[in-house]
């Protein structure tokens, strides 16, 4: 978007029924219709890194479908994100489903290209493997970034079946590669059985702090958001959200569900509490629509991506650099 143009927003659902036409995120224009964007919503239909149920390759398009009902004004953040910044749907990155190493390279290169245009990324997965190339790309631009990782799982395991790139291992690789600022790493919503206590000690050695889903329930969303904000400070922040951070009642459509998770209300409120953080890009992964019911999961995901997009748009409008 050139500085003189105002952003092109979503299709007006009071004139064209919201269920008409092909789905883009929030009925926004495609990136090729607007030339460039401040926030690029991009899909990565890739799920060859999963350890249990497959199907997250269909997540991005399910979120786009569910996002038809989003409206332009976000009262929770008192902002009209699509008027504050040009947000556009950049389509999908074509990652090779039969070669994980090649797919990881493809995602990194495509993210590099989008970031080089000055856009921030709101990536719709895909499985959690894709966080690694996205973090590599973001770190090339910003240096090591703070990470807020919302997930039932740690995803700092070493390998599965000898494979280093899987959906359970991206954040260990990211720490090893130096793309994360190890002073500001937090998991939020962690719960469920582990392979052993060593999973936790290894994770702590990498620098991660853990806010369990029980912590969120006991201490409440405001206190948790305050604590996270303090840890992040002014650092460039990347937020990675695995939809399985939500309880299976709120997100049945995912590959490795664990009981006892966050409500969608808790997740959305914690994110709103982070609106002053310097959010440089974000991903939302592990939506697997084949296990969903009545779009429960993809509706929650669409609202989650909307809050993240709103945070980025407000900062862009406030003059904060990408
Ligand atoms: N859903 C993600 N990203 N990871 C789960 C890996 C859990 C496991 O297979 O042990
Ligand atoms: Zn997970
Ligand atoms: Zn995960």
What would the pLDDT profile of 133-170 be if each residue is shown by its tens digit?
Answer: 999 999 999 999 999 999 999 999 999 999 999 999 99
Q: Which two tokens stand for residue 175?
A: 């720490």
Among 35, 63, 181, 45, residue whose Cα is nearest residue 119:
35
Ligand 1 pocket, mutate which of 52, 149, 254 (most atoms under 8 A from CB)? 52
- Give me the residues paired with residue 242 across strands: 285
How large is the average pLDDT for residues 243-269? 98
Among 80, 89, 165, 72, residue whose Cα is nearest residue 124:
89
Cis bond upstream, residue 25 (ω within 30)? no
CA 41 and chain centroid, separation: 10
- Give the chain's length: 322
Ligand nearest to the CA of 248: 2
pLDDT for the residue numbered 319: 84
How large is the average pLDDT for residues 65-77? 98
CB atoms within 10 A of CB 217: 14
3-state secondary structure of 89: strand
> Does 128 sit in the ligand 1 pocket, CB within 6 Å?
yes
3-state secondary structure of 167: coil
Alpha-carbon gap, residue 311 to 78, rounded angstroms? 11
CB 243 within 8 A of CB 305: no
Cα–Cα distances (Å) from 157 to 55, 197, 201, in that order, read 21, 12, 11
Per-residue pLDDT for 322 more than 80? no
Burial class of residue 69 in the structure, from the number of CB atoms within 10 Å of its CB (0-12 exposed, 13-18 middle, 19+ buried): middle
Among 115, 146, 95, 111, residue whose Cα is nearest residue 37:
115
> Does 68 sit in the ligand 1 pocket, CB within 6 Å?
no
pLDDT for the residue numbered 320: 77
Q: Identify the residue whose tokens are 């009925």.
A: 27
> Does 155 sit in the ligand 1 pocket, CB within 6 Å?
yes
CA contacts within 13 A on the Cβ side of 76? 18
Per-residue pLDDT for 195 more than 50? yes
Ligand 1 pocket, mutate which of 168, 172, 193, 253 (most atoms under 8 A from CB)? 168
Among 160, 94, 106, 159, residue whose Cα is nearest residue 136:
106
% of the chain with per-residue pLDDT over 70: 99
CB 226 within 8 A of CB 272: no
Ligand 2 geometric centre to CA of 156 (Å): 11
Ligand 1 pocket, mutate which of 54, 128, 245 (most atoms under 8 A from CB)? 128
How large is the average pLDDT for residues 298-316? 98
> Does 168 sit in the ligand 1 pocket, CB within 6 Å?
yes
CA 252 and chain centroid, separation: 18
Q: From atom 5 of ligand 1, which residue's Cα is the shortest distance away?
A: 168
> Does 52 sit in the ligand 1 pocket, CB within 6 Å?
yes
Alpha-carbon gap, residue 150 to 121, rounded angstroms? 17
Ligand 3 geometric centre to CA of 8 (Å): 33
CB 79 within 8 A of CB 313: yes
Ligand 1 pocket, mutate which of 46, 47, 50 (most atoms under 8 A from CB)? 50
> Does 59 sit in the ligand 1 pocket, CB within 6 Å?
no
> Does 89 sit in the ligand 1 pocket, CB within 6 Å?
no
Q: What is the ipTM of this complex?
A: 0.98
pTM beyond 0.90: the answer is: yes
How large is the average pLDDT for residues 255-261? 98
Per-residue pLDDT for 2 more than 50? no
pLDDT for the residue numbered 271: 98
Mean pLDDT of the chain: 97
Atom number in ligand 1 closest to CA 195: 10
pLDDT for the residue numbered 4: 56
In which band, very low, low, confident or very high, does the pLDDT at 321 lie, cut at 50, 70 and 90?
confident
> Does 256 sit in the ligand 1 pocket, CB within 6 Å?
yes
Q: What is the pLDDT of residues 3-53, one digit of tens each?
A: 457 999 999 999 999 999 999 999 999 999 999 999 999 999 999 999 999
């Amino acid at each position: 978007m050139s500085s003189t143009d105002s952003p092109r927003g979503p299709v007006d659902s009071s004139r064209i029924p919201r269920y008409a036409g092909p789905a883009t995120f929030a009925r926004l224009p495609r990136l090729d219709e607007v030339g460039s964007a401040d926030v690029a919503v991009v899909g990565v239909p890739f799920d060859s890194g999963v350890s249990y149920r497959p199907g997250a390759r269909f997540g991005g398009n399910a979120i786009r479908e569910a996002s038809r009902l989003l409206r332009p004004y976000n009262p929770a953040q008192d902002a009209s994100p699509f008027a504050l910044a040009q947000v556009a749907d950049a389509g999908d990155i074509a990652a090779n489903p039969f070669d994980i190493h090649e797919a990881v390279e493809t995602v990194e290169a495509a993210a590099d290209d989008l970031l080089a245009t000055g856009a921030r990324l709101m990536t719709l997965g895909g499985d959690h493997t894709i966080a690694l190339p996205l973090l590599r790309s973001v770190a090339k631009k910003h240096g090591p970034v703070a990470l807020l990782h919302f997930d039932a799982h740690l995803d700092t395991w070493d390998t599965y079946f000898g494979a280093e790139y899987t959906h359970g291992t991206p954040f260990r690789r990211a720490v090893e590669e130096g793309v994360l600022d190890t002073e500001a790493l937090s998991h939020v919503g962690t719960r469920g059985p582990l392979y052993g206590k060593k999973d936790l000690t290894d994770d702590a050695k990498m620098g991660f702090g853990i806010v369990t889903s029980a912590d969120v329930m006991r201490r409440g969303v405001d206190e948790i958001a305050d604590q996270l904000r303090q840890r992040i400070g002014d650092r460039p922040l990347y937020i990675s959200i695995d939809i399985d951070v939500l309880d299976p009642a709120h997100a049945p459509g995912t590959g490795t569900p664990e009981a006892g998770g966050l409500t969608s209300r808790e997740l959305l409120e914690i994110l709103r509490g982070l609106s002053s953080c310097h959010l440089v890009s974000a991903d939302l992964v592990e939506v697997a629509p084949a296990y969903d019911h009545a779009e429960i999961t993809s509706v929650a995901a669409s609202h989650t991506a909307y809050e993240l997009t709103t945070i980025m748009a407000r900062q862009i409008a406030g003059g904060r650099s990408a």
